[in-house]
Chains A and B, each alone.
Chain A
Amino acid sequence: MTALLAPGGTTEMAFAAIDEGADIIYVGPLGWSRRPYESEMTDDDIRAVIDYAGSRGKQVRVVLNTFPSPFEMDGFLEKVRRFDAWGASGFIVTDPGALALIRRMLPQTLLHVSIGSGVTNAWDGRFYRALGADVIILPYRWGEEEVVGAREASDIGLEVFLFETVQTGKICPGKCIMSSYLKFRDWHQIEGKDYFHGSANRGAKECYRVCQTEWDFGAGGEAPMALKLRRDARLMLEQLPRFVELGVECFKLSGRERPTAMIRDLVRFYRKVLDGILSGEARDMALHADELAGLRLRWITEKRKRVDALMTRADGYQGDTSWASPV
């Protein structure tokens, strides 16, 4: 089966994505899914989404993709048990140890390896398959050749983000702790978590997207150049038919932090495109080019707004900017 995964940053967004034809909705509980609070959900909200999706024959994956502290593993597994009992069909996980524990606890649940795991080659898929994972999300840098390689290396399911393959810049999910080195907000007790976490990787409030703001870069003695550490990702279109042909099972729309209206339109668009490819009736992607151009523009505009908002937060938060001089 080829599935369209869509984000549920809020219940409103999740319901809209289900109504527009997403097969699977992914949602993250507060403090456990690498997103700011406004894009995560309370447990009650997640239950409501599970019920709504179930009544319409759709599935929900719960994103538990922080690297938990060794001290909070019991709480992490308690969340897993709860969402499984409520009918979540699977989980998106980053920590290999946590993944192995969930597999032992719930032999039937579906486990996706999160992009935050930092996969770089097909043998990573082989490792995670041996650990009990069902699906691995492929890095942004991978194209067709790598998809073929992953297929040959193991029988793990493949999932791709609906972004074009990118080759340059610092695109390093799972291999980056820049944001927390520079600054992070203290954790306030919520959802049973009451101690230090340090970064979005670990469930703190937010990654400040420092890679997407402007920096000066250069060697000593040279005039520095102003640049971002990565370029904006572009929504995928032309590569889609080939990825379907190669047996990619899941196509994932990013965007828990985007406005609901945009996610609604994107789900509608990709539902139409995927259905056309799968039925064989509309395999020419040029048919959709104009519509996609408008969506790409909206995507970039909203993304930049979001990055600006996060950087403003980072600039405004002064809690960790002073430090003692050792000498």
Chain B
Amino acid sequence: MFELSTNVATPKQLRNGDFSAYDALYLGDFSCAEYPNNFSSHPEFLAEAVETVKGQGKKCYLRLYAVPSNHDLPWVRKVIETALTLPFDAFEVHNLGLLQMLREMGSNTPVHLGVFGNLYTDATARVVKDYGVTRVYPNPELSLKEAIYIRDHTPVEVLVPVHGKIPLVISETCFILEHSSKAADGKCTFSCAQDHWLTRTKGDWSLKDTGRMTLSGSDLCMLEHVDELAAAGLNAFYVQSHGESAEYAAQVGEIYREAFTRAFAGQPPGDPAARLEALNGLAKMGLCNGYYFESAGRRYVGRA
């Protein structure tokens, strides 16, 4: 009926997290290859992880590093070579060079184009479909109308992020490391384990920074629009939990699982106030609706 997915970066997170609300998991942190024990850069953890996830009856997708430089390509290729021997349901690819590489490696594993794949048009969806892409995560700047148009006019599925911070920037270098007083000889001390924020008082601006990725300060929240999404026939939904706690992924997943189950069963929407209160409590800088309703990303538009 519908699929609700989220992301898991490491074996420890997979072991300790409660992902019972989710139908599918994206393994790996696509933003940082150095993140300790990251599935995206540690092929030795993949076999056990995919077995665990599939053993729970979930689909299992592998995230490939989003911004590989030339010197990253050899190790990324090794990760792909290992992953091709395992029963992954898809690889998530953000980089078009890797898309070309997968094609030339003869991969038949379905591909999901990731958020930094810059999918803005149906024309691009048709191009990447020829590279094995079956699902796209549209650029967050697209409105809901545009995402639905792409779904309706191409043979690819559209993933709809419904909650969590919006990925805004990805970089090949680590901003936290560059500005860390603790880093010795430029070596990573994993300072990103602490929350880092960029703030600008004059514009009332806040962004979360995880080193190589900058995320929205506010959490995207589509809880008030679950019925609209279901009515539009969208059925692949995603909770962005990068940089969040295990409790965040579990609680947010539970709230959306309940909401989508009800919406797809055709039951009337209840009062969302208590669940919104809970989601707001998990968000350090409030909630927003992203760009879905044709405004600047940090606005909260609310129910129409």
Contacts and interface: CB of A to CB of B under 8 A. Distances in A.
Interface of A: 67-71, 73, 94-98, 100-101, 117-128, 130-131, 141, 145-146, 149, 167-172, 174-178, 180-184, 195-196, 198-199, 201-202, 210, 213-220, 224-225, 227, 229, 314-315, 320-321, 323-327
B169 A172 contact: yes
16 contacts: A94-B118, A95-B121, A96-B96, A96-B124, A118-B118, A119-B97, A120-B172, A123-B101, A146-B70, A168-B173, A170-B214, A177-B140, A177-B168, A217-B209, A314-B203, A324-B302
B199 A224 contact: yes
B103 to A, nearest CB: 9
The 8 A-B residue pairs whose C-beta atoms are closest, nearest first, are: A97-B123, A123-B97, A97-B124, A181-B297, A67-B120, A196-B294, A124-B97, A127-B100
A71 B145 CA distance: 10
A151 to B, nearest CB: 11
A323 B299 contact: yes
A196 B205 CA distance: 22
Interface string B188-213: 00010011111111111101010000
Given A182-B298, A327-B277, A327-B280, A130 B141 contact: no
A214 B200 contact: yes
Nearest to A182: B205
Nearest to A202: B141
Contacts of A141: 69, 172
B191 A118 contact: no
Given A70-B150, A131-B127, A215 B199 contact: yes
A167 B173 contact: yes
- Chain B CB count within 10 A is highest, among A67, A167, A171, for A67
- Chain A CB count within 10 A is highest, among B124, B141, B202, B287, for B141
Given A67-B120, A71-B149, A170-B171, A120 B69 contact: yes
Interface in B93-131: 95-101, 116, 118, 120-128
Given A170-B175, A219-B196, A327-B277, 7 more contacts: A70-B120, A96-B118, A123-B73, A126-B100, A128-B96, A220-B197, A325-B300
B184 interface: no
B63 to A, nearest CB: 16
B188 to A, nearest CB: 15
A178 B214 contact: yes
Contacts of A171: 171
Nearest to B192: A219
Contacts, number: 220
Contact of A121 (B97, B126, B277): B97
B200 A215 contact: yes
Contact of A97 (B127, B199, B294, B295): B127
A75 B171 CA distance: 33
A323 B276 CA distance: 16
B15 to A, nearest CB: 26
Interface in B132-155: 139-141, 143, 146, 149-150, 153
A150 to B, nearest CB: 8
Contacts of B124: 95-98
Given A124-B96, A175-B171, A182-B298, A69 B207 contact: no
A95 B97 contact: no
A177 B220 CA distance: 15
B203 to A, nearest CB: 6
A196 B100 contact: no
Contact of B118 (A67, A218, A315, A320): A67
B120 A68 contact: yes
Contacts of A321: 204
B198 A202 contact: no
A198 B96 contact: no
B224 interface: yes
A97 B125 contact: yes
